[in-house]
Structure 1
Amino acid sequence: MTEEDQATPAVEGPLLAIELSQRSGGAAVIDASGDLHTVGFEGGRRDRDDVLPGIHAVLARAGVAASTLRCVAVDVGPGGFTGLRISIAAAQAIAEVANATVVGVPGAVVAATATPALGETLGEIVVLSAAKAGTAWRTRLGRDDTDRCWRIIGDPGIIDRPDDRACVAVLADEHVPSELVRSTVSDPPVHSPSFDAAAVARIALGGGPDLLVHADPARLMPIYPREPEAVRRWRSRPAR
């Protein structure tokens, strides 16, 4: 075991998980007994904040005080800029108060775990997300046992052409161009991805090399395939 491995904090319950990479999200708590409690909410509303009340509600339902949390896990994307910003900031603040470990879970792993159509799927799959201007963010994942977590294969990245490697399934929403969903070597089924906080919680407790685990909440960062539009506009503003 390397020095870096020894320094990685443990991931254990009570654990709070937050999912807000999409418009609809939620929170989940795994209590000290291993029981799962969930609540759903909408993110990015202008008229009211449903996120923090939802987090407070699921903690109360689980009988867990925020100060006793050992871990706070959150989907770190790719996903909606506003939702990721809100959920990651909430995770950081709660973890800071509780002195809890933070766990960043890549959105592709959440999608593979939460999508019902992949419940019995084995082999290699592709998750396409963050579509823009004829491109998308591609993540390959695989597993050889349904009792195991999906693991990322290789390095995710932006693609602008059909895949040339076989897979058993593709996850892609309606925004991904159809030409990117097609494969040049196979014709896998295409499913719309699902995301939920319960999956984030299960993945975090399951551990693995794809998780971003930090003792310092400030180190938790989102996965942005491209520079956020708000940042791009700020950089391109006229000099005064």
Structure 2
Amino acid sequence: MKLLAIDCSARLCAACVYDADARKELGREVLDLGKGHAEHLMGVIEAAMKAGGLAFADLGAVSVSVGPGSFTGVRVGVSAARGLALALNVPAIGVSTLEALAAEARVLNGPCTVLAALDGGRGEIQAAVYDDVGAILFVPAVIDLARATLLATEYDAALAGTAAEMIAGSLSGRDNSVGPLGSTADIGVYARLAAGKEPGERPKPLYLREPDAKPQAGFVLPRSG
């Protein structure tokens, strides 16, 4: 089966095509945008498909990062993946950012339990814990540094994500492996994880906290009647 993986959860706008049977990446395209994923995603997908020598009709599944991450980027990626999957009549498969970071940490450090943690600002950390084969031990949640430190100690976990160094600094006398340190994993990690999943419900964004931008109630017109 050939699979298309998409990630817009952070600064990167990334796509790759992957041969699940051969366990081989066929082509990729990655842009470091910061913003503007909606304007560039289809071009990135087309470039990855071209690099892999594939047509859309060759795809057996579409996968996407569901977050946590950028509210706008995650929404753009999930919408595109669901739209492509519907048009091609193939499954859409969601992979969380935390799950992918933990998988990348196991590639770097060998089999291990991983606390994947993203710095959400305002003292918030978005985190989850996965065991040495990727099974979830602590479900994704918003926690504080004290709780993250306890989790790292309790599970003797390697640390991954943008909050990894912060957590490592609070671990007195412990030497937990640290890395990767990014806000998302390599796009190939998403593809490999998706290839090992059974299709289930359609992917939807994983939002662990409310967006910073909220409607201004003062501008809402009262309903009549």
Give the TM-score taking structure 2 as reference length: 0.80
* 1:227 matches 2:210: yes
1:21-170 alignment runs, 5 A limit: 21-31=9-19, 34=22, 35-36=24-25, 37-43=27-33, 45-46=35-36, 49-115=39-105, 118-143=107-132, 149-162=133-146, 163-164=149-150, 165-170=154-159
AA aligned opposite 2:141: G
Distance in 2 between the 1:202 and 1:49 partners?
26
- 1:128–1:170 Cα contact (<8 Å) kept: yes
Return the offset for 1:224: 0.5
Return the offset for 1:187: 4.0
Return the offset for 1:225: 0.7
Query: Which is worse superposed, 74-83 or 182-191?
Result: 182-191
Q: Tell me: CA distance 1:21–1:47, structure 2 relative to 1, closer, same or farther (3 Å).
A: closer
Runs of 5+ unmatched residues, structure 2? none
Partner secondary structure for residue 100 of structure 2 = helix
Task: Show the counterpart of 1:3.
Answer: none
Distance in 2 between the 1:130 and 1:237 partners?
29
- 1:142–1:150 Cα contact (<8 Å) kept: yes
Q: Tell me: CA distance 1:101–1:130, structure 2 relative to 1, closer, same or farther (3 Å).
A: farther
Return the offset for 1:32: 7.3
Task: Show the counterpart of 2:217.
Answer: 237
Partner secondary structure for residue 16 of structure 2 = strand
Partner secondary structure for residue 50 of structure 2 = helix
* 1:15 matches 2:15: no
1:179-198 alignment runs, 5 A limit: 182-183=170-171, 186-191=174-179, 192-193=181-182, 195-198=185-188
Runs of 5+ unmatched residues, structure 1? 1-12, 144-148
Equivalenced residue count is 211
Q: Tell me: CA distance 1:160–1:41, structure 2 relative to 1, closer, same or farther (3 Å).
A: same
Percent identity, please: 25
Query: Which is worse superposed, 118-127 or 93-102?
Result: 118-127
Distance in 1 between the 2:189 and 2:63 partners?
10
Deviations 1:181-223 (A, max 9, x none): 6247844233313512111110011227xxx733xxxx42111
Distance in 1 between the 2:60 and 2:7 partners?
18
Higher helix share: 2
CA RMSD between the two structures? 2.8
- 2:129–2:136 Cα contact (<8 Å) kept: yes
Give the TM-score taking structure 1 as reference length: 0.76
Deviations 1:60-115 (A, max 9, x none): 22222213321100111111112111111111111111011010001111112234
Distance in 1 between the 2:128 and 2:203 partners?
20
AA aligned opposite 2:193: I
Distance in 1 between the 2:188 and 2:200 partners?
18
